[in-house]
Amino acid sequence: MLKLSFTLDPFECGTDEAGRGCLAGPVTAAAVILPEKFENLMLNDSKLLSQAKRDFLKPIIEREAVSFAIAHVHPEEIDDINILNASILAMHKAIARLQTAPKFISVDGNRFKPFADVPHETIIKGDSKLLNIAAASILAKTSRDAYMCQIHEEFPMYNWKQNKGYPTKEHREAINKYGITPYHRKTFRLMPQQLHLPL
């Protein structure tokens, strides 16, 4: 079973992001503070769970969390500050929106910038090690997926309802056919690099 935290501090938050490798849509982060004795045998890294399990866990996390918050950083800002900085910014925004101020921040991954004067620790694959990061990964993923389904209605030809903006063959073929939208990240390689042989 995943651990709650290293410190067992009831005011420790976990934070994670979703959508970092997408060609379109925001990068979305969540921050979650769980009760000290929170347990859930199903909770795990959102990437290891089916959509049905993520959707099942989402209201449980939201109901039982001491506090949770979600934040999007949109393509224009991603293009302006790059995806790493945008991912960290999204996590900072989510943490800032928590109704209960955290005393410690557990971060999925290996890169982060200090948030105010709150101590933090980066944990590689933290979403499969700590419950609070796993919970954040699920809220970030389900929130971003819902957003992509919403903008799918505006641009259905890209099938974001299915691919969520990731670089699938279908998505890239649609970019080639229809061009890009305001939701696409213009600094990303939207089409695969082609090789040209001299003749």
Tell me the pLDDT of the chain (199 aa) as tens digits: 565 444 446 689 999 999 999 999 999 999 999 998 898 999 999 999 999 999 999 999 999 999 999 999 999 999 999 999 999 999 999 999 999 999 999 999 999 999 999 999 999 999 999 999 999 999 999 999 999 999 999 999 999 999 999 999 999 999 999 999 999 999 987 766 533 434 3
How far from 109 is each of 88, 125, 147, 194, CA to CA, in Å?
A: 11, 6, 24, 32
How far from 15 is each of 80, 102, 130, 184, CA to CA, in Å?
A: 23, 11, 10, 25
The rounded distance, in Å, linking the Cα atoms of 5 and 34 is 10
